[in-house]
Structure 1
Amino acid sequence: MKYIKRSLLFFLLAAMPVVAQQKITLEQIWGGAFRTQGMDDLQAMKNTNEYTVLNANRNARTMSIDLYDFATLNKVGNLIDSKSFPQLKDGIDSYTFSPDEKKILIATQSEQIFRHSFVADFYIYDTAAKTLTKLADVKVQEPTFSADGTKVVYSNSNNLYLYDLASKTAKQITTDGKKNSIINGITDWVYEEEFAFVRAYDWNSAGDKIAFIRFDETEVPEFSMDMFNTGLYPSQYVFKYPKAGEKNALVSLHIYDVKTNTTKEIKLGNYNDYYIPRIKWTNEAQTLSVQVINRHQNNLDLIFVDANSGTPKIVLNEKDKAYVDITDNLTFLADNSFIWTSEKDGYNHIYHYAKTGKLINQVTRGNWEVTAYYGFDNKTGNVFYQSTEISSINRDVYRVSLNGKNKVRLTPNAGTNAATFSPKFDYFINTFSSAKEPTNYTLLNAKDGKQVKAIVNNDALKSKLMDFSLPEKEFMVITTEKGHQLNAWMIKPKDFDATKKYPVFMYQYSGPGSQQVNNEWNSADDYWFMMLAQQGYIIACVDGRGTGFRGAEFKKVTYKELGKYEVEDQIDAAKVFGKYAYVDASRIGIFGWSYGGFMSSNCILKGNDVFKMAIAVAPVTNWRFYDSVYTERYMQTPQENASGYDDNSPINHVSKLNGSYLLIHGSADDNVHVQNTMLMIEALVQANKQFDWAIYPDKNHGIYGGKTRLQLYTKMTNFIKEKL
């Protein structure tokens, strides 16, 4: 009887129509179908136990800065709503508070310049009076309040201006600013791109001094780009770009005295051909900290400058046989002792120094990396940070006493955790995701990490994705023939059959200190990879030597030979995959963008017996074409290391091309110039090699805008289907 019932049940189930699983499309990926919900422009207040979020009402096409209580997560106020101010009809792009948090600088109608820099219409909003005042009649850069909130400094046309809120007038601080010649208080192109900052000035805590860096670009060679969509004739965009081994901007440090309206240059010492990658006032109002690093970037001095006398004093020195990474974690405590992060013991860790520069204590230690420093709680003496202690592919949040004791892991879930702390360090908003869990935001207790309340989740997206029956990203460690253990992930088709043979499409970036094998939620590329897996491809990614978060030795092995060991590891990884019973070793391809394009180009050439096809987007094809700060950090200059440049640049190996090669670039790429691709094309032509290529007019390094990404990824998808 039971047997009959089971048979009948089986028959009924078999007779039911099978619901087909949905397939991912490129239109969905680039149309935002899988976009996650988040907390936009989340900022913790400093004077109250509250935080702000920039919320958008898509139906009403308005935006608001809303205030929330950290302890309850309740909305306690609306600071400003764009619907009440016609000046903000185009929305709120970004916002910053005055030190007393009673005024807000609001940016609207922003226009991008380079990766980080932009000009915008800025308004000063008084939260009590509810008034909105335009800062300047023109679009300006990087405005910042003084300590007492009565003044604002901003940049316009390479000069600094001081705006007085009471009189609503601006005074020009510098007068010699000139395009492609002199810049005051704003970084040049190479500083912005490689040292990752734009505002090269800083207010002191007394509001009476402004320190700024001056860039003299006069002798820096110019680079020009034709812009085609500008009318009947193309226009040229010309800017200063120091390539490897060429002249950099001459930098100098200056301090402006607000009270006397005078500026003096600070002589930092007997330096030659150097960078100033950071300036920051200490807690002592008349003491400025300056980081100075030599052109090779293997010797860094932390200097304290007396603003009144102009006297500099070196308080800390960092040296390395390869290079020293710049830290943004310099934090001054109440007694002007300071927190500093360094990888001098082989891994990036937190150190506590006296204001004299004497080491008090190494706060963290171990064979793992501190990946973010969140702050110091004066009340409890605790330091809060993010690290890879559990696993190099995960991130967790910790607290530890300043003496290095009483460490507590505050995030229980394996994946990527990041924190925004309340000003009292009693709570933090944890942003969590993993390869299996979309991003969610929760309020956690900073004492023990226990969850207080959920804030935002993406359960709706998770439910939606169930209809697609997506394959999972499997994390692993592979061992190459040379014995190198490398982090990797693999995405197999959902209906994977181990008795079949599958083509493998490898993705990587591979640049120094980077990471692609990390446990976090999907990017747009991940959905593309899953789409390809639905079409019968295995996708794999390997972080080879030179990538980050596994210690200095693993990262810096590529010093002076970019493209040697990283390429070896991708080729060797492909050979490992090729030996899997379910892999068709004759059908392995590779893809990368930027540094990854440099790598995929090298792989199809140096690994021509392993890779059947390669796609390179915006690749460096010869390190002689790339900028000074980045390239020389890892390679020194071409004059000093000619073989390091030439031996591993793909443009010098075009005769080895056997497989299918797709080369893609944007013509207005200010970062990796289209020159790289044009000269690669000429080299391939003269080697009589057949290949495919595409140039995207007026598109920068990101190659986006309108339908651009959809067209680009359609092209790459079709190339994969045809060639792999």
Structure 2
Amino acid sequence: MIRFLLLVISISFSALTFAQQKQFTMDDAVLGLGTNLAREDIKQLNWIPGENAFTRTVKTSKDEAIVRFMVPSMAADTLLRLSEVQNTAGKKYPLRSMPALEWLSTNVASFSIGNHYFLCQRSKTGMEVKEWMQLPDEAENIHIENTTRRFAYTKANNLFMVDAEGRTHTVTKDADPGILNGKSVHRDEFGIDGGIFFSPRGNYLAFYRMDQRMVENYPLINWNVTPASVHFTKYPFAGRTSHEVTLGVYNPSDGKIVFLETGTPKDHYLTCVTWSPDEKFIFVAILNREQNHLWLNQYNAQTGAFVKTLFEETDAKYVHPQHSLTFIPGKSDQFIWWSQRDGFMHLYRYNTSGKLLNQITKGPWVVTEIAGKSEKKKTLLITTTKDSPLDRHIYSVNWENGKMQRVDTDPGTHLAAVNNNGDYIIDRWSNGTAPRVIDVISASGSWKKNLLTAKDPLAGYQRPKIENVTVKAEDGTPLYGKLIYPVNFDQDRKYPVIVYLYNGPNVQIISNTFPASGNLWYEYMAQHGYIIFTMDGRGSSNRGTKFEQATFRNLGTVEMEDQLKGVDYLKSLPFVDAARIGVHGWSYGGFMTTSLMLRHPGVFKCAVAGGPVMDWKMYEVMYTERYMDTPQENPEGYENANLLTKVKNLKGKLLLIHGTIDSTVVWQHSINFLKECVDNRVQVDYFVYPGYEHNVRGRDRVHLMQKITDYFDQNL
């Protein structure tokens, strides 16, 4: 009997040990955090406009419901059940779960299934669901104006509006496909993510009009048909002809459009588009093509006439506007302006005469978001890097005296959703050990209610040790990175290393989030005997302009110096095999990877570069000219960064990967590189993903990461 019990205990212990030692599959490593290993979450967690209340989806044994919770009492009542939605929308569409609701006002919400929209009207007993609007199947960039219940959308290259009575207004009628209306412009630079701007009360519709007929055609080939077909896109190369953008204002009452008199040269950039609260004016930050001079201009929305320049900003390297104006609640003549003029992204309060009233935030850190505001307390709710460049914390700041108070209490990366009056915050956060926590907190920080503390979806898996690392750049600047150890680490062994990098502008890859590694593929590789090292060097984001502008006019130089400091650190570790170091990156990281192999040959044994820029003269105007000036102005910088002229330097193994319809880093970059390899009798490995643009996503990404893994297995 004792022997039997010992056997049972032994088997149970072995089973437990096995469960704890479970390894990731490649599917887990690539797709797991979005599928079988996804963190617990709360669906449809949204504030109700005008109430200290939020809604969320709650599942019951028979149904799913939208439930309202009053704050701070947390009293709950059911507003809408899935069965009620199915009674209306289910007649045309099969619904197995509650569609996503968007609150239009305190008592009205909407949801859509495709381009079919439904209204949900609150009553004393719940919500009544009714059909609302059916937009054309081809409608894109759909915007709903909450007050007037008007819709705006684009179809092909034109803009349309549907009024509350259901009448469709054809706003623009441009026959030439080279003119785009109502769409994002300037290739989504400058924080631009759309081209439709309803006025605050919904009476007018402003929109971008981009004329790109003068821009060169660039062919993208569709290989899915026989013979293959060609689609031409407009691609403005650095130093060459760019597009011209204007801003139109449509008045639905008379059907007329006026265009703002934004002047010349016409290839300047129109950014930070903002309506005045009274709908009389539109503010536009005009940035010259050189991107070193900005004018914040005011225009008459009725006539399009230029009114005045409120102020100007200049910088010897570049000005980088990314945010529209935020008007002070109850003050139609005061607004918040974002600027890096003191070396860090901070907030400034101006009046509409152009007078600076005060700098609201200040210090060697950056503001990353304005999440909400309180008119009563004269405060903004913001997220910042004040405590650490690796964290994001929520602060309340008085817009008159700059007094700041941290609202959250836990280390990590916090995302704030603030209710209308600025009294309460839904705080979503995580850190290296907390997968996801959702709290409701008061803006004063005096009250908190936990809604979710997610279980660790990776519990039971074989996890590596992860160590935060700080490396010093040549000038003494601290650079933050992560060292991921092989599982079952043996300090007496020598391990191969994979350096993963990006190190380009506007991106930060090292942060205090879950999982601590930052990527399950890193952990997969650690399970298979690799050390992974990743680090943000100078040129990357959220460290101030001195840090970010260190690469100006010489992309791929200072960043490589920093990454090589990381390699020096790796080589100082007794368990690193200095003869077996590989490097991998995508996009700017692909450029960095290829640069390291050609400009510092012999450091890395092998490399995988995805979607790499090979010659900055073949990249787009807005991004490239900001960081490099034009090829005509900076020929030496472009030549130093040109990888097509350095093919002969290659030592070690290099795999290049590219999507065949990449309209960001066009396929010609790697095709030209291959031609140089052939001409110089240099062997290189190459793989393309047919039909993919700049990134390989979905199920096919598993194939991509397996190919990359196999390459390192074969060569490291």
TM > 0.5 = yes
Q: Residues 582-597 of structure 1 correspond to what in structure 2 (within 5 A)?
A: 582-597=575-590
1:338 to 335, 340, 365: 335
1:633-654 deviation per Cα after TM superposition (whole angstroms, max 9, x unaligned)? 1111122222212211322211
Which residue is equivalent to 2:79? Answer: 77
Q: Does structure 2 conserve the Cα–Cα contact (< 8 Å) formed by 1:206 and 1:285? A: yes
1:415-460 deviation per Cα after TM superposition (whole angstroms, max 9, x unaligned)? 111111122222111111112221221111211264x222233215
1:710 to 702, 708, 712: 702
Question: What is the Cα deviation at residue 543 of structure 1?
Answer: 0.9
Which residue is equivalent to 2:361? Answer: 364
1:693 to 668, 686, 697: 686
Which residue is equivalent to 1:266? Answer: 260
1:304 to 298, 301, 306: 298
Between the aligned partners of 2:595 and 2:100, the Cα distance in structure 1 is: 40
SS at 2:233 equivalent: strand
Question: What is the Cα deviation at residue 75 of structure 1?
Answer: 5.7
> Residue 402 in 1 paired to residue 395 in 2?
no
SS at 2:677 equivalent: helix
Q: Does structure 1 conserve the Cα–Cα contact (< 8 Å) formed by 2:368 and 2:383? A: yes
Residues 516/254 of structure 1: CA separation in 2 closer, same or farther (3 Å cut): same
Q: Residues 289-688 of structure 1 correspond to what in structure 2 (within 5 A)?
A: 289-312=283-306, 313-328=308-323, 330-333=325-328, 334-336=330-332, 337-448=334-445, 450=447, 452-461=448-457, 465-480=458-473, 483-522=476-515, 526-688=519-681
SS at 1:467 equivalent: coil
Residues 474/416 of structure 1: CA separation in 2 closer, same or farther (3 Å cut): same
Q: Does structure 1 conserve the Cα–Cα contact (< 8 Å) formed by 2:372 and 2:419? A: no
1:269-320 deviation per Cα after TM superposition (whole angstroms, max 9, x unaligned)? 4444201123121112211111211112221222121223433211122211
1:206-252 deviation per Cα after TM superposition (whole angstroms, max 9, x unaligned)? 433222221111111112211122x3332322221212122222112
Question: What is the Cα deviation at residue 699 of structure 1?
Answer: 1.3
Between the aligned partners of 1:473 and 1:88, the Cα distance in structure 2 is: 47
> Residue 241 in 1 paired to residue 244 in 2?
no
> Residue 35 in 1 paired to residue 38 in 2?
yes
Q: Report the count of equivalent residues.
A: 690
User: How much identity, in percent, do the aligned residues show?
Assistant: 28
Gaps of 5+ in 2: 1-5, 123-127
The one-letter amino acid paired with 1:346 is G
Question: What is the Cα deviation at residue 542 of structure 1?
Answer: 1.3
Q: Does structure 1 conserve the Cα–Cα contact (< 8 Å) formed by 2:414 and 2:428? A: yes
Which residue is equivalent to 2:170? Answer: 172
TM-score scaled by structure 2?
0.90
Query: Which has the higher mean CA deviation after the structures are superposed, 404-413 or 374-383?
Result: 404-413
Gaps of 5+ in 1: 1-8, 110-120
Between the aligned partners of 1:551 and 1:252, the Cα distance in structure 2 is: 31
Residues 456/715 of structure 1: CA separation in 2 closer, same or farther (3 Å cut): same
> Residue 723 in 1 paired to residue 692 in 2?
no
Question: What is the Cα deviation at residue 330 of structure 1?
Answer: 1.9
1:512-559 deviation per Cα after TM superposition (whole angstroms, max 9, x unaligned)? 132111111139972111111122211111111111222110110111
Q: Does structure 2 conserve the Cα–Cα contact (< 8 Å) formed by 1:415 and 1:520? A: yes
Q: Does structure 1 conserve the Cα–Cα contact (< 8 Å) formed by 2:432 and 2:516? A: no
Q: Does structure 1 conserve the Cα–Cα contact (< 8 Å) formed by 2:598 and 2:647? A: yes
Which residue is equivalent to 1:117? Answer: none
Which residue is equivalent to 2:125? Answer: none
Question: What is the Cα deviation at residue 386 of structure 1?
Answer: 0.6
Between the aligned partners of 1:46 and 1:319, the Cα distance in structure 2 is: 39
Which residue is equivalent to 1:220? Answer: 215
Q: Residues 3-18 of structure 1 correspond to what in structure 2 (within 5 A)?
A: 17=14
Q: Does structure 1 conserve the Cα–Cα contact (< 8 Å) formed by 2:537 and 2:562? A: yes
Q: Does structure 2 conserve the Cα–Cα contact (< 8 Å) formed by 1:547 and 1:554? A: yes
Residues 640/96 of structure 1: CA separation in 2 closer, same or farther (3 Å cut): farther
TM-score scaled by structure 1?
0.89
Q: Does structure 1 conserve the Cα–Cα contact (< 8 Å) formed by 2:66 and 2:78? A: no
Q: Does structure 2 conserve the Cα–Cα contact (< 8 Å) formed by 1:394 and 1:415? A: yes
SS at 1:183 equivalent: strand
Over the aligned positions, Cα root-mean-square deviation in angstroms equals: 2.8
The one-letter amino acid paired with 1:175 is K
Residues 394/525 of structure 1: CA separation in 2 closer, same or farther (3 Å cut): closer
Between the aligned partners of 1:645 and 1:469, the Cα distance in structure 2 is: 46
Between the aligned partners of 1:288 and 1:581, the Cα distance in structure 2 is: 62
Q: Does structure 1 conserve the Cα–Cα contact (< 8 Å) formed by 2:65 and 2:78? A: no
Question: What is the Cα deviation at residue 495 of structure 1?
Answer: 2.4
1:633-690 deviation per Cα after TM superposition (whole angstroms, max 9, x unaligned)? 1111122222212211322211111111111111122211222121122222222222
